Structure 1
Amino acid sequence: MVRELTLIDALELQKTKSHTLVDVRSPKEFEEATIPGSLNIPVFSNEERAEIGTLYKQVGKQEAMDRGLEIFSAKLPAFIAEFRKIDTPITVYCWRGGMRSKTAVTVLELMGIRTNRISGGIHTYRKWVIQRLEEPFKPELIVLNGYTGSGKTKILHKLMEDGYPVIDLEGMAGHRGSIFGQIGVKPNNQKKFEILLAEKLDRYADEPYVFIEGESKRIGQVHMPPLLFEQKEKSPQWIIQLPTKVRVDEIMSEYEPTERPEQFLEAFKLIKKRVHQPIAAEIESDLENGRFAEAVEQLLTNYYDPQYEYSVARFAVTGEHVIQVETVQEAYEECLRRYKELKK
């Protein structure tokens, strides 16, 4: 008999790190959205799933099931072998807890691999995500803000590495938030962004303070949920100020324009009309001729900095909010010092 777990029970087991969740949907479905931390051991490949779906629509359910059984039977040894590599208890799931997860559990049981199944599949997880995003987030947000190139993302990543609570919106979105933000990264869709965000909101629900970056409501292809965005707007802003040269170096290091010169030129053309002439022509010439540091400094001075001044004007910023330092490392240390002061 198949042992079914509720979604909440499965998530609690996963938190112990001694339990493994396995998504048996196709790699494409897994890539689009899954429960964070899950493995993907698909019953069908992307092409096989498409073939079976076409059969179901054009011929009938029984023919699709027969073809599915034929395909799955041929790959059983490899499928079982992947599960044997897992040395913890296992819970599998598919979209709605239907045929794929039921078939997987039945076969695994026959081979002596004890397995559970999430009742309702990832469909129930999607409902949980939506509910979580519509609930108030209890911790106070510490918003890192500042001019483009101030090392905010680097500081957040360093805080995460050192075990402090951080919501990395850009990392979840797969976008750095600027017109060049998609270069060198893989963007996520809204559904995957919301799943990653909901998991963080749940993880940090009992923290007194959580770090977040001062992003706009839209980050690349995705949008922040209204409740979290409103909370961020009302939260204290820590304004990081670094010398322009340091900011240029930070951008050069993070974006590596010398590796993708054509992409940077194409991205600049999207905002060229918003930059005053003849400065726009100078920036374009610098990008075309590999003078990237010069182009970056011009973009900061004539495009990004004025935008920042306009956007930050809506916050009641005083001297106590400003972190004026010479390096990103000093900014990190000051953020950490202030955070520890708040927790006393």
Structure 2
Amino acid sequence: MESDDKMFHDITLDELLKKQHNEKHTIIDVRSPKEFHESTIPGSINIPVFSDEERAEVGTLYKQVGKEAAKERGLEIMSAKLPEFIAKFQEIDTPKTVFCWRGGMRSKTAATVTDLMGIEVNRLQGGIRAYRQWVIKELEKAYFPPDIVVLNGNTGTGKTKILHQLAEQGYPVIDLEGMAGHRGSIFGHIGAEPSIQKEFESQLVQAMRKFRDVPFVLMEGESKRIGKVTIPEFLFDQKEESTQLFITLPMEQRVRNILDDYQPWNQPDDFAEAFDRIKKRIHTPVAKQIDHDLTTENYHQAVRLLLEYYYDPRYTHMFNNYPEDKTKIFKVSDTADALSQIKHELSRMYPEKAPLS
């Protein structure tokens, strides 16, 4: 313990990021579950001082009665749940840092009561507000040193699965769809939990920081907007000017991939609703047929028609916009074949650079 009256250690964001990078370190968001769900520091866990309802109650008291009344009620609430709160901290066997919105009463309370129970805890100065300001400054730099290698191809070629397998094998991958909580197609939100822009940017900046010293990073070909979020302009432009590895796969295999990934029979109403939003862009007789196929659960044909009349024409237009010297085409039979060919190409492009350990 420090020699002054403070019963815990305040650390700066820079110190926290170094700890997170260099050692096993648990970051604990003590804000309410709703706040945590909306946006947090990537990698954090949530041990809230107040539930959503309790936070609303204390906030109302603060506004209508005053600060002291709110503090007294907050103390009552916290006292009742103290054993459970402490027990959760005791389960964590790594160094710990707590934070709240701006490094105020909630994180101070959490750090103080845990310290009294002999649990050493740091508190982040400035809270998540300081972290958010750092994210904005990092994006304003508009600078990402590594080459970007873009995995591209028609809808259904298994690009996301290939990227995940490459990441598992130690290749540097930034999964934009995963960060966005959206799989990129008109059905991409189904079965996923879309991110908000703040959360997407937090994850993106952390990934860019992680890979800033590697020679190249793999990303999937995406439009500038993925679901509810937008890729920063500088990164999108850099991605568009980078090497594009295009995967081509037979139509039937692509249809099977999409059916395996999305399983439309589990959420038929969501798929019909998603199709309603784009069917005006498809030739009317074809749109009617797709509508009928979705209604009668003939998903195989519905997907094939969507690829043939909606996705593939857009892909062809996009492909033709890339210069030939920036594109490489890989004709593959399945995901395993694609993975093998992509790895061979990466070893040719970067012969001295093995995957990350």
- Which position in structure 1 is the counterpart of 2:42? 36
Whole-Å Cα distance in 2 between the matches of residues 293 and 253 of structure 1? 11
1:210 aligns with 2:217: yes
Q: For 2:37, what is the secondary structure of its paired residue?
A: helix
User: Where do 1:1-344 residues align within 5 Å?
Assistant: 1=6, 2-135=8-141, 136-317=143-324, 321-344=328-351
- 1:222-255 CA-to-partner distances (Å, cap 9, x unmatched) read 0001110110111111111011111101101101
Residue deviations 1:105-140, cap 9 Å, x none?
A: 111111111111111111111111112222310000
In the TM superposition, residue 72 of structure 1 has moved relative to its aligned partner by: 0.6
Tell me the CA shift for residue 34 of structure 1: 1.1
SS at match of 2:50: coil
Is 1:237–1:317's contact at 8 Å kept on the other side of the alignment?
A: no
Amino acid at match of 2:311: Y
Superposition deviation, residue 15 in structure 1: 2.0
Distance 1:277 1:9, change over 3 A: same
Structure 1 stretches of at least 4 aligned residues deviating more than 4 Å after TM superposition: none
Aligned equivalents of 2:188, 2:40: Cα separation in 1: 24
CA apart distance, 1:320: 6.0
Structure 2 gap segments, 5+ residues each: 1-5, 352-357
**Aligned 8 A contact 1:134 1:227 in 2:** no
Q: Secondary structure at the match of 1:91?
A: strand
Query: What stretches of structure 1 of length at least 5 have no aligned partner?
Result: none
CA separation in 1, counterparts of 2:57 and 2:326?
63
SS in 2 for 1:42: coil
C-alpha RMSD of matched pairs (Å): 1.2
Q: Distance in 2 between matches of 1:318 and 1:163?
A: 27
Cα shift at 1:339: 1.0
Seq. identity, %: 55
Kept in 2, the 8 Å contact 1:153–1:213? The answer is: yes
- Once the 2 structures are TM-superposed, how far is the Cα of residue 28 of structure 1 from its aligned partner? 1.0
- TM-score if structure 2 supplies the norm length? 0.94
CA deviation after TM superposition for structure 1 residue 328, in Å: 1.6
- Partner AA of 2:69 in structure 1: E
- Distance in structure 2 (CA, Å) of the matches to 1:243 and 1:318: 25
**1:240 & 1:326 partners in 2: Cα distance?**
10
Give deviations 1:173-214, integer Å, cap 9, x for gaps: 000111111111111111111111111000000110100011
AA in 2 matched with 1:79: F
SS of equivalent to 2:284: coil
> Which SS does the other structure have where 1:75 is aligned?
helix
**AA aligned opposite 2:134:** W
Question: Please, what TM-score do these two structures have when normalized by structure 1?
Answer: 0.97
Greater Cα shift, 126-135 or 76-85: 126-135
